[in-house]
Each structure stands twice: as structure tokens, then as C-alpha cells.
Amino acid sequence: MQKIFSYISSHRIFSLSLYFALFIIFVTGFVQIADEVLEGEHLWLDEKILQTINGFSTPFFDSFFVIVTQLGGVLGIITISVGLLSILVLRHKYKQALIIGSTVAGAALLNLVLKLLFERARPDLWEQLVVETSFSFPSGHAMISAAIALSVICVCWKTRYRYPALIICSLFIIIIGLSRLYLGVHYPTDILAGWCVSGAWLVVVVLVLSRFQGTRKDRTRSASLLRDDSSL
């Protein structure tokens, strides 16, 4: 019995350490990028990358990325989120649904706040195929698509769908980010910052919900012990 408790304790410590390390990595990455954005140190590199990507533009890619980028927009994310949440709720996977819903909703709110704080103007290097009126940093499409994709990977991690989810969601994150760069409506640093914030926020959501679930289990266990004691 002691070995079992020791294993559980060490497993929890390992999990918490991993989550903490991921959170630090994501936050540090965002802070570093945000600092560079505020100082404008690597704007030339952002623009160089965009110009390089634009050099591969073709009529086919124009049409393709205009369509693809809609998957990371408001309508696309709402449609995907509602579909996923409906499936999970119908299967009584309420915790998983809460993780995805909380991560996506929180990421959307954080994105609005951060855009207003940084007020970074969007790139204006060529005639754009889509019209965007909000601020550029961090990218809302990249941030919210990463939020939904990373949360799906998280809820599928201990299931047989782990690797399909990892592959599909990773491609989804990359293609949405690339679409924003190809269309010239975001700098690379906007995309990277959005990914970092979503990653950090997902860690917070998972830890909070895990803690809440753990507290409920402890209360249930305590109540059961009290009932057993009273029956003696």
C-alpha cells in the first residue's frame, strides 16, 4: 500500500513539474517576443520573412489560403467548437468539454485584451486579399486555432486517438498560422506570440480543473470515511 501511495505521489509531482515547465516556457517565449515587438528590434526580420513567403504566391495559393484562413476565424472556430463540444457532451465527457470550452473562450478574451494593450499595426507590404481592421499582436487566428487544437490534443492524449489528434491538430495550427503570413495580415512574431499565450492558458485551465476535480474527490472520500466511522 505504501508503494502505491508513493507511486501516486511521485506521479503527481512529475505531472505538476511538467506543467510548470511548459507554462514557464510558453510565458518566457511570449515575454521575449513581446519585448522585441515593443522595441521594434526585429521588425526587419518579420518583414523579410513575409516578403520571402510572398515570393511563392500564385493564384492557386491565393484562393487556397483565403479559404483555409476562414477555419481560424470567428465562424470557423465557433463551428468547430460547437461540433466538438456537442460530441463530448453527448458522450458524457463533461471534463473534456470543459477543458476545450474554457481554453477557447479564455484564449479569445485574452486575445482581445492583448491586442488593445499592444496596439500593433498590421503589415502593409502589398495589396492584401482579405481586409482586417483589428490590431495585429498577437494573432487572433493563430491564438484561438492553437487553443482549440492544443486542447483537443490534451483531452485525447490518454486515448487511442492520441497520435491522430497530434498529427491533425499540429497541421491545423501550422496551416492557419501560415495562411496569416501568406495573406500578409500578420507578422511571424504575431503568430508565435499567439501560440505561446494559448499554450500557457491551456496549462492554467488543465491545472485549475484538475485541482477542482481533486478537491471534489477528496471531499467524497472524506464523507465516505465519516459514514463508515459512524456505522461502527
**Does residue 190 belong to any structural domain of this protein?**
yes
CA quadruple 46, 185, 64, 166: dihedral sign: positive
pLDDT tops 70 at residue 56:
yes
Q: What is the pLDDT of residues 95-121, one digit of tens each?
A: 999 999 999 999 999 999 999 999 999
CA distances to 33, 39, 189, 207 from 27, rounded to whole Å, are 10, 18, 14, 16
Q: Which residues touch 190 (CB under 8 Å, ≥6 apart)?
A: 120, 136, 137, 138, 139, 142, 180
Q: Residue 127 is part of which domain span?
A: 2-213
For the record, the C-alpha cell of 203 comes out as: 496549462
The type of residue at 27 is V
**Domain tally, the chain:** 1
**Does residue 219 belong to any structural domain of this protein?**
no
**Does residue 220 belong to any structural domain of this protein?**
no
**Does residue 222 belong to any structural domain of this protein?**
no
Q: What is the DSSP letter of 23?
A: H
Q: Which residues touch 206 (CB under 8 Å, ≥6 apart)?
A: 19, 99, 154
pLDDT tops 90 at residue 128:
no
Higher pLDDT, 24 or 11: 24
Residue found by looking up cell 511521485 in the block: 10
**Does residue 232 belong to any structural domain of this protein?**
no
Q: Of all helices (H) and strands (E), which one includes residue 171?
A: helix 162-182
What is the rounded distance in angstroms from the CA atom of residue 117 to the CA atom of residue 114? 5
Q: DSSP 3-state assignment of 209?
A: helix
The pLDDT assigned to 223 comes to 43
**Does residue 137 belong to any structural domain of this protein?**
yes
**Does residue 121 belong to any structural domain of this protein?**
yes
pLDDT tops 50 at residue 4:
no
**Does residue 175 belong to any structural domain of this protein?**
yes
pLDDT tops 60 at residue 75:
yes
